Amino acid sequence: MNDLQKRTWAEVSLENLRHNYMAIRAALPAGCRFLGIVKADAYGHGAPAVARLLESAGADYLAVSCLDEALELRAGGIKMPILILGHTPHEYTAALIENGITQTVTCLAKALEYSAAAEKLGRTLKIHIKLDTGMSRLGFLVDGAHFDEGVDNIIRSCTLPGLEAEGIYTHFAVSDEPGADNEAYTRAQFALFCRVTEEIERRAGIGFAIRHCANSGAVVNYPEMALDMVRPGLLLYGYGDTSGRLGLVPCMRLVTTVSTIKFYEPGTSVSYGRRYVTDRRTRMGVLGIGYADGLPRLISNKCAFYAPGGFAPQRGSICMDMCMVDLTQLPQADVGSEVEIFGRRSDIYRLSAAAQTIPYELLCAVSKRVPRVYKDF
């Protein structure tokens, strides 16, 4: 990054990412594959760079949300297997096959569409079957009264021409949350998944090379559910309540600079809506970051960022491109000083609590206009 253009940037430590990958990998059973989740631009960390590191480190699979994300990785030279977790219209079956991308299949109707498209091309599409065991989102319905029909539909999908069913998986809803009820729910999801795969093999003799259930929470909390492959997402980037148990470290710092400092007398209103009024003579700094960069407007007047000398309370409504902080007690902070929004000293968990959200959202919200700078910190 050109120093003359320094405004706001995200520092991403690939060394920390490598450390996290190795620590998670070391905790897995022998022979268990590792799928790295790199959807949403690798949770804001930059998917091409993260994917290149994971490929060189020996990861077995990557997962993205959509075809565009998968094609970005292929264009960037990534050769390893990529699974699309979301929907791809059947009209793009050729693109999936030509680029060696594995597609999730969530119901018989979609399997029939992909099969017809692949047959027309005279090619084979690699797929992973997804089960809805309790997330109530995507996947074949297999619980309760849906069990027999669900199993039959999966068997039919796996035997359609033009499709190669390499894997089968489900997604846990509360594997990262404490409490007996959440543990019981996760174990029930896993038991249902196992029951379905066993019934498919019993009825049709179909086995799957890759069975995977364990997301970030389950990797740590339910290691016995690793099966053939795990899918760490947020955990890989060093966040989440369980990350400390594996000695993982955050991979991103969001940094901005002080662009202007002004003094205001008591009774001065600050920013849109006049939602903050100074109660004393105030040394106010303007930071070059706003909600267009990913800083939630909801945290206005509810947080503080780390500046030279300590934490600077944020004042007034956060604007599109900037926000204000009180530097009265921080004489060390000056025009050009770096201010950490989150990272080593500014806690992303405290920030996400102020925004009434989760760290996932803050990481993914860091916008494209914020350059990613790959350096260790």
Q: What is the pTM of this model?
A: 0.95
Query: What is the distance between the alpha carbons of residues 185 and 57, in angstroms, rounded to a whole number?
Result: 34
Residue spans of the domains in the chain: they are 14-240, 252-374
Residues known to be catalytic: 39, 272
pLDDT of the residue at 81: 98
DSSP secondary structure string for all residues of 27-49: TSPTT-EEEEE-HHHHHTT-HHH
From CA 217, how far away is CA 174, in angstroms rounded?
A: 8
pLDDT tens-digit series, residues 231-246: 999 999 999 989 999 9
pLDDT reported for residue 6: 77
| Angle between helix 47-57 and 14-26 (nearest 10) | 50
For residue range 72-111, list pLDDT tens digits in order.
999 999 999 999 999 999 999 999 999 999 999 999 999 9
Residue range 276-296: mean pLDDT, rounded? 98
Per-residue confidence (pLDDT) for residue 186, from 0 to 100: 98
338, pLDDT greater than 60: yes
DSSP characters over 114-155: HHHHHHHHT--EEEEEEEESSS-SSSEE-SGGGHHHHHHHHH
Band of residue 4 on the pLDDT scale cut at 50, 70, 90: very low
Other residues' Cβ atoms within 10 Å of the Cβ of residue 346: 20
Structure-derived torsion over alpha carbons of residues 96, 98, 101, 102, reported in degrees to the nearest 10: 70
CATH of domain 252-374: 2.40.37.10
Report the pLDDT value the prediction gives residue 377, as an integer from 0 to 100.
Answer: 84
% of residues, the chain, pLDDT over 90: 98
**Summary mean pLDDT of the chain:** 97
What is the predicted pLDDT for the residue at 224? 98
Q: Residues 152-165: pLDDT tens digits? A: 999 999 999 999 99
Question: What does the pLDDT average to over 303-330?
Answer: 98
- Mean pLDDT over 1-10 rounds to 74
- Identify the pLDDT of residue 210: 98
Query: Which whole number is the average pLDDT over 333-352?
Result: 96
Nearest-5° angle of CA 373, CA 247, CA 355? 60
The burial of 44, by beta-carbon neighbours within 10 Å (0-12 exposed, 13-18 middle, 19 or more buried), is given as: buried
User: Which CATH fold topology does 14-240 show?
Assistant: TIM Barrel (3.20.20)
Whether the per-residue pLDDT at 304 is higher than 70: the answer is yes
Length of the chain: 377
Q: pLDDT tens across 189-225, in order?
A: 999 999 999 999 999 999 999 999 999 999 999 999 9
Say whether pLDDT at 5 is over 90: no
pLDDT number for residue 2: 58
Q: Residue 1: is its pLDDT beyond 60? A: no
